[in-house]
Structure 1
Amino acid sequence: MLLTNACKQESYNEPIISLEKYHIKEGFNLEVVASEPFIEAPVTMDFDNQGRMWVVEMRGYMQNLEGTGDDMPNGRITILQDLDNDGITDHSKIFLDSLVLPRAIAHVYGGLLYAEPPNLWFVDIENDKPANRVLVDSLYSGNGNVEHQPNGLMMHIDNWIYNAKSKYRYQKKNNKWIKEATTFRGQWGITKDNFGRLYYNTNSTQLIGDYVLPNTIIKNTFYKPEEALSKKLTPNQRVYPLHPTAINRGYIKGRLDKDSILVNVTSACSPIIYRGDKYPESFKQNAFVCTPEANAVKRNILNFSSNKITAKQAVVGKEFIASTDEGFRPVNLFNAPDGNMYIVDMHRGILQDKVFLTPYLKKLYAKKKLDTIIGMGRILKVTNQNNTNNTTLNIANFNTTKLVKLLYHNNGWFRDRAQQLLITQKDKNAIPLLKNVLNDTSNSIAQIHAMHTLNGFNALNFELLEKILYSNGDSSVISHALVLLEQFAHENKVTSVKKITEHLFLKNNTEIDLYTILSLGRWVTLSKDDMFPALWQISNKYKKDLLYQEALINSLRGLEEDYFLYLNKNNKNSQDNVFTKVLDTTLTNKKNYIKNSVYGKKGVKQNAKSAGQKIFKNLCATCHGINGEGVENLAPPLKNSEYISKSSKRLALVILHGLSGPIHVNGKLYELNTTMPGLVNNPDFSDKDIFNIIKYLQNTFSDAPKPINLDQIKKLRNIKPKNGGVFSETELLELEK
């Protein structure tokens, strides 16, 4: 069945929204497909199998400058309908209501997964109504700030559901929900490319990404990769608003230019890799990023080179979309079944949560009357003027044969959804059809989807993958086959795998070499004698490349000493090899039992019920990590930090008044484009609270706590930064002299 823009059968009242203040790249149109009164304060959405939009409404967020009422159960998940088929929402119906600040949804396993902090729920859908609610995770998010809680819920090609601002992934298998550790990623929003690499960001870094497939390089518990994950892809964070910009701490030098226009992003969120089929070829796998503080959407062109990725602004000095409408708050982007990109516009004046809202911005909001832009919300669609066919398929009733054919679709949305529907429906008639796709080397993307669909069916085996690995197929297909092959590790297959690695090495392909060395871990455990030579042969070829040496340590997994002996015995060791440093780090961590934070404990071990710990978990851990390890591109580590151990006065000043970079921690320079806000003007935090935070930080992350009392903290409230904003490291050090 086709949903088309047919002639109207009935007349409906559809709001008319002007977009005169919006500028979009030439050749594209911007359309309003949903708006108030049908939705209010939308933060995310998803499409169902009929192509309908399901929207999460965070109605309780910052209804006024004081932020009162955010605990009201007024959030909703709404189904938007276009009953007259003209492309514009004319009806809506509530699927779930009475929610407190809901933040994420995903149509998976024939039902709906949704997040309402602190819980993650799953419900079946019966006649557009929820049924059989199941609690997936009671600890999906803590009770922290609304801007720093897990979100995203993206079903991936590997059949796992990934999140932003989280170190866990989820999967439903044999009617049981599985929660598994993964790399901590981003702040708000997560996306993927056609190969399966993940992308995300932080407020101050517009695009961050992984060079490798998820959970393939974190299997050595005593080494945390530096080169493969959480890589800053954009060389600068420039943004180009069309008007003076109202941002937090705009008084800090360098935040705004002489015309009060924002220089670098401060609220970047929700990147999307465009995987649709309606835009020109040059737009495929471009990265679009929301910058709601600048009332804009950015476009970056990705470059994939030698297992590494870079991104650059598509047009220097100009955004893909920019508006002078200060209510335009793009907070999420989505690929859609019609092949276009959709924008979730929260459409409001107040963008900053009360916990971080400075008096400066509060006054600016009031002066510009931005607090009066409330009770609104839009969904916008970006269309290509040269491809106006915006029809979409209703795949709700597609049979198995049709779903398998969708794995060839040019629109990634259909490939993703078809894969999951096939796995959910469990029709074994799909297996021979999927094997046919797997053997069709004319379409590598379809092959990859077929491989993971078969894996979801538990119908994949060693022999099928072995055939792929000996084929002349695309390197991306071989890479995925190598990752999936490891689950079939068995001693009677070691000789076969040894021959496979020898065959693949002769291809002299950097991508295949990387995934070969990444995926030998279980095979190494079975036979060091057979696999050590293969590891050395590949790693030696890239002995100056940290990425490959991290891949090597990933596959050793406890056999580091044995491999070191192998190198020495065969005169293959070299002190100038990058691997030597990686090995030394791993062995040191192993000796001191310092684990990769992915495998660290879920919480800190001291003062579990203290007031200081509660504040830390809800406020500080969102940026610095629950174990104080820091978050890449967001905040430095707290463990052994001079800011924790050297001076209680310095620590108190930072907590009270805030801190901006660059700063030094443990001798390392952190040039983060972020500012830690102070709590001095926040009435929710008393001197006692500040004292509790300090005591907790020092007792947990320092071996030498320094004394401080409430009277000292009270006096430190009046020692303010010279610029009237936050402290710099230089100014803090001067105060200690």
Structure 2
Amino acid sequence: MKNTLWIGSMLSLALLVFTCTTPKPVVQQPEPAFNPAPTGAYLSPEASLKSMRLPRGYHLELVASEPMIKEPVAIAWDGNAKMYVAEMLTYMQDADATGEQLPISRISLLEDTDNDGKMDKSSVFIDKLLLPRMIQCVNHELLVNETNTLAIHSYEDTDGDGKADKKKLVYDNPTYKNTNNMEHQRSGLDWNLDNWMYLTYDPVRFRYTNGTMQVDTLVSGSSGQWGLTHDNYGRLYFSSAGGENPVLGFQINPVYGSLNFDDQFTADFQEVWPIMATPDVQGGYKRLRPNVTLNHFTASTGQSIFRGDNLPADLVGDYLVTEPVARIIRRAKVTNTNGKTTLKNAYQQAEFMASSDMNFRPVNTYTGPDGNLYVVDMHRGIIQQANWTKKGSFLRNRIDSLGLAANTGHGRIYRVVHDGFRRYKKPTMLDDPSDKLLTYLGHPNGWWRDNAQKQLIARGDKSVIPALKQLAVQQREAESDERHLARIHALWTLEGLNALDKEMVGKALHDKHAQVRKTAIWLSEPWLKRNDESMIAQVGTLANDASDDVRVQLLLSLYASKAPGAAPLVNQLVAGNTTNEMMVATKQALDKNEDVRKFGRRLGNLTAADRTLILDGASTFKSLCATCHGPEGKGLTVGGSAMPAPPLVGSKRLQFDNKNMAIRIVLHGLSGPVDGKEYPSVMPSMSENSDEWIASIASYIRYEFGGNSRSSPAVKPEEVRKIRASHTSRTEAWTLAELEAKQKEEVPASAAK
């Protein structure tokens, strides 16, 4: 009883001890007007601040700027609120990316020694890096990944001089070589609620345990591009600049598969509302309104869910994403309806934050230790990579005419504050005893909760396990919203310490808060995967739970279990939720994920019917067609003689989205020269075979040898039937000239390009 009262009193104290002092007077700046003709001129941090527009009551404060930092792209705080800044010093130093691959970038360590919100102490923590992409603080270590590699190193400062003197490789895949455009490489390394670190692009997630990275494969791959974040309950949010998609991948955790809805946000959500003309766009005039403002997301990056406690409460839980081409930050309201998550712009044809400074380039956002919102501004003229700035391009002409290439070597970090904001005592988690860290698991600022959980796990202190177990089941009739969050973090901390047992999970399954019940199901998965029938029976009691989130998680967690009791529960959930869009789509996503697991990503992502056609065609091709075309479609040469039939790999006849050419060739054969070369054999007609047989062969050769297509490579039997009916009197093999003439009739010139 004493321990219970002690934990409760310490949690209450935690909510009070960090609030304090007199609010800082706010100087109201005049609202910037729309700028129809911005220049590329450099603005000082003070002048740039005056160009910013935010909602009434919100203000920007400068945290750090050049020369302390240059070209910042990402930040991370350790448990004592020291800030690490990843700086890409070679990124687009001119429009041709000269010297971009030189290993001279760095990570700086910044500190606010007097707690006034502005960094006043700095050191170069690590130098001679190649464009650092991902950073994550774990205890006294900093995990770092650089461009063009999957290697992750741990760095540590053991003598306290602000410079790393200890380096350790914690993960590598030496066979992996990535020379892709650097905009299309991984980012993130976000330590999520479930103690896994997630990233974009690469189909893996990491768990840092005892100084090494445990790796888990995501069957259907990851998502997103630059930036990754999570909410209070471990829901991940991605974005894709290349796909011009400001948010995606947030319906289910990627470990279960991929699920997006066409209406998870409305079409107008993708429109952006700058306060300056934005001529320097990759998409050219089609991406510009008549007033030369960007009309659509084209560079969405650096998203976050605001989880702090020092800005108005109506911002908590909102989604924020930067658009550095528009010089704006979007704020979206997140809504959960029947388990399905949707987003909507918080403002009507306006943005949460916008600037008329042409060099304002926001690339990341974060909830900070002080409960405010932080913005990383790369502050530069060019934001697009060299693939898009080639000489003669629309964008290059704008860069040259505006002199944008001259603006390099700058960078700012801001924090968004609000009228009457409170100044907090800085955290000292790296030094606090473990029992004090427990009190932060219920802190109103999500940054504190996350880092207390992470620090307890990294420390591996088993002495707090009894107190964690008490906290995990502690409920009161009237409690603050943070109470259930404390229980959720306590449960995941126990999981991270390998101290979670079935009894704890069983109690959490009956928690009065739906999100705790959902968490308990998620935590039950190790037992479900071991086919533990008693655990399946316990989670099965929630099959009719009032919460859609609970039932969705139950379906996600039970699906992979091979225990006899699991399948009936899955069937019950599916049958009982046929009108719930989220439940139906989740089951489809799980089925697709399982197909990918069985057949590989490309084949597994097709429908079952299309996949059957292709597999049937593969069997026929290998027993019949391969004798002339070769088993790999590269053609055959025997004893130095000419190939009997043309190779299929790289064939122009298989590249078109229009399928009719492939169907005609399989139906009636092909004669004459192919790509200017004569072959001794004429491909015979296969028209005596059924429509299904023709469709399967055409499907396989399009799938295996046809390259990429905007649609499925599969050919339907009804498509074969239609072509067959249009040539009933044909008895001769086609020539390429005839086929190409038919192709021109059926495919508009614009579509065939």
Question: Amino acid of the residue matched to residue 232 of structure 2?
Answer: N
- Aligned-pair identity in percent equals 29
**Aligned residue in 1 for 2:46:** 17
Work out the CA distance in 2 between the residues paired with 1:134 and 1:513: 41
1:548 Cα shift? 2.3
Match of 1:537 among 554, 572, 575: 572
Equivalent pair of 2:331/2:345 in contact (CA under 8 Å): yes
1:398 aligns to 2:412 (yes or no): no
1:243 aligns to 2:286 (yes or no): no
**CA separation of 1:697/1:23 partners in 2, compared to 1, >3 Å: closer, same or farther?**
farther
Question: Amino acid of the residue matched to residue 526 of structure 2?
Answer: Q
Question: Amino acid of the residue matched to residue 134 of structure 1?
Answer: L
1:264 Cα shift? 0.8
**CA separation of 1:483/1:230 partners in 2, compared to 1, >3 Å: closer, same or farther?**
farther
1:122 aligns to 2:153 (yes or no): yes
Deviations 1:36-89 (A, max 9, x none): 010110111101111121101101011112221112222000001334443222
Equivalent residue runs for 1:258-657 within 5 Å: 258-358=290-390, 359-441=393-475, 442=479, 443-469=483-509, 471-489=510-528, 493-495=532-534, 497-498=536-537, 500-501=539-540, 503-521=541-559, 523=561, 525-527=562-564, 530-545=565-580, 547-549=582-584, 551-552=586-587, 585=607, 589=611, 642=656
Equivalent pair of 1:123/1:130 in contact (CA under 8 Å): no
Work out the CA distance in 1 between the residues paired with 2:182 and 2:91: 8
Work out the CA distance in 1 between the residues paired with 2:529 and 2:395: 61
**Aligned residue in 2 for 1:571:** none
1:521 Cα shift? 3.6
**Aligned residue in 1 for 2:143:** 113
Work out the CA distance in 2 between the residues paired with 1:200 and 1:101: 21
1:587 Cα shift? 8.2
Q: Give the match's secondary structure for 1:445.
A: helix
Work out the CA distance in 1 between the residues paired with 2:72 and 2:490: 34
**Aligned residue in 2 for 1:710:** none
Equivalent pair of 1:350/1:371 in contact (CA under 8 Å): yes
- Between 85-94 and 292-301, report the one with greater CA deviation: 85-94
**CA separation of 1:85/1:730 partners in 2, compared to 1, >3 Å: closer, same or farther?**
farther
Work out the CA distance in 1 between the residues paired with 2:204 and 2:317: 26
Deviations 1:343-379 (A, max 9, x none): 1100000111111215221121121122221111110
- Between 372-381 and 200-209, report the one with greater CA deviation: 200-209
Question: Amino acid of the residue matched to residue 237 of structure 2?
Answer: Y
- Between 90-99 and 547-556, report the one with greater CA deviation: 547-556
Deviations 1:518-573 (A, max 9, x none): 222454x121xx3333222221111244542454467789999xxxxxxxxxxxxx
Gapped runs of 5+ residues in structure 1? 7-14, 219-224, 561-581, 595-604, 608-637, 649-694, 705-728
1:281 Cα shift? 1.6
1:178 Cα shift? 1.8
Q: Give the match's secondary structure for 1:309.
A: strand
Work out the CA distance in 2 between the residues paired with 1:367 and 1:492: 66
1:509 Cα shift? 2.9
Equivalent pair of 1:210/1:230 in contact (CA under 8 Å): no
TM-score normalized with structure 1 length: 0.72
TM-score normalized with structure 2 length: 0.71
**Which ranges of 4 or more aligned residues in structure 1 deviate by more than 6 Å?**
1-6, 553-560, 590-594, 638-641, 644-648
**CA separation of 1:2/1:124 partners in 2, compared to 1, >3 Å: closer, same or farther?**
farther
Deviations 1:5-60 (A, max 9, x none): 99xxxxxxxx9633111111111110111000101101111011111211011010
Work out the CA distance in 1 between the residues paired with 2:190 and 2:439: 23
1:492 Cα shift? 8.6
Deviations 1:94-153 (A, max 9, x none): 111011211221102541111112143222412242414215124677121111110111
Question: Amino acid of the residue matched to residue 100 of structure 2?
Answer: D
- Between 235-244 and 135-144, report the one with greater CA deviation: 135-144
Work out the CA distance in 1 between the residues paired with 2:266 and 2:290: 28
Match of 1:168 among 198, 204, 216: 204
1:310 Cα shift? 1.1
Q: Give the match's secondary structure for 2:293.
A: coil
Equivalent pair of 1:415/1:449 in contact (CA under 8 Å): yes
Q: Give the match's secondary structure for 1:184.
A: coil
**Aligned residue in 2 for 1:623:** none
**Would you tell me which structure has more strand in proportion to its own residues?**
1
Q: Give the match's secondary structure for 2:490.
A: helix
Equivalent pair of 2:237/2:248 in contact (CA under 8 Å): yes
**CA separation of 1:555/1:42 partners in 2, compared to 1, >3 Å: closer, same or farther?**
closer
Work out the CA distance in 1 between the residues paired with 2:533 and 2:386: 59
Work out the CA distance in 2 between the residues paired with 1:700 and 1:639: 11
Match of 1:81 among 87, 99, 111: 111
Work out the CA distance in 1 between the residues paired with 2:568 and 2:254: 26
Equivalent pair of 1:520/1:555 in contact (CA under 8 Å): no
1:733 aligns to 2:751 (yes or no): yes
1:591 Cα shift? 9.4
Gapped runs of 5+ residues in structure 2? 1-16, 23-43, 596-603, 617-630, 634-651, 663-701, 715-746
**Aligned residue in 1 for 2:213:** 177
- Between 395-404 and 117-126, report the one with greater CA deviation: 117-126
1:491 Cα shift? 7.9
Equivalent pair of 1:65/1:350 in contact (CA under 8 Å): yes
**Aligned residue in 2 for 1:28:** 58
**CA separation of 1:374/1:531 partners in 2, compared to 1, >3 Å: closer, same or farther?**
closer
Match of 1:147 among 183, 188, 192: 183
- The alignment of Structure 1 onto Structure 2 pairs a total of residues equal to 583
Q: Give the match's secondary structure for 2:131.
A: coil
Q: Give the match's secondary structure for 1:447.
A: helix
1:508 Cα shift? 3.4
Q: Give the match's secondary structure for 2:183.
A: helix
1:457 Cα shift? 0.9
Work out the CA distance in 1 between the residues paired with 2:19 and 2:128: 32
- Between 472-481 and 407-416, report the one with greater CA deviation: 472-481
Work out the CA distance in 1 between the residues paired with 2:653 and 2:212: 37
Question: Amino acid of the residue matched to residue 482 of structure 1?
Answer: I
Equivalent pair of 1:2/1:394 in contact (CA under 8 Å): no
Work out the CA distance in 2 between the residues paired with 1:16 and 1:397: 35
Q: Give the match's secondary structure for 1:294.
A: coil
Deviations 1:649-708 (A, max 9, x none): xxxxxxxxxxxxxxxxxxxxxxxxxxxxxxxxxxxxxxxxxxxxxx9996755899xxxx
**Aligned residue in 1 for 2:697:** none
**CA separation of 1:606/1:207 partners in 2, compared to 1, >3 Å: closer, same or farther?**
farther
Equivalent pair of 2:74/2:364 in contact (CA under 8 Å): yes
Work out the CA distance in 2 between the residues paired with 1:230 and 1:155: 29
Q: Give the match's secondary structure for 1:298.
A: strand
**Aligned residue in 1 for 2:67:** 37
**Aligned residue in 2 for 1:71:** 101
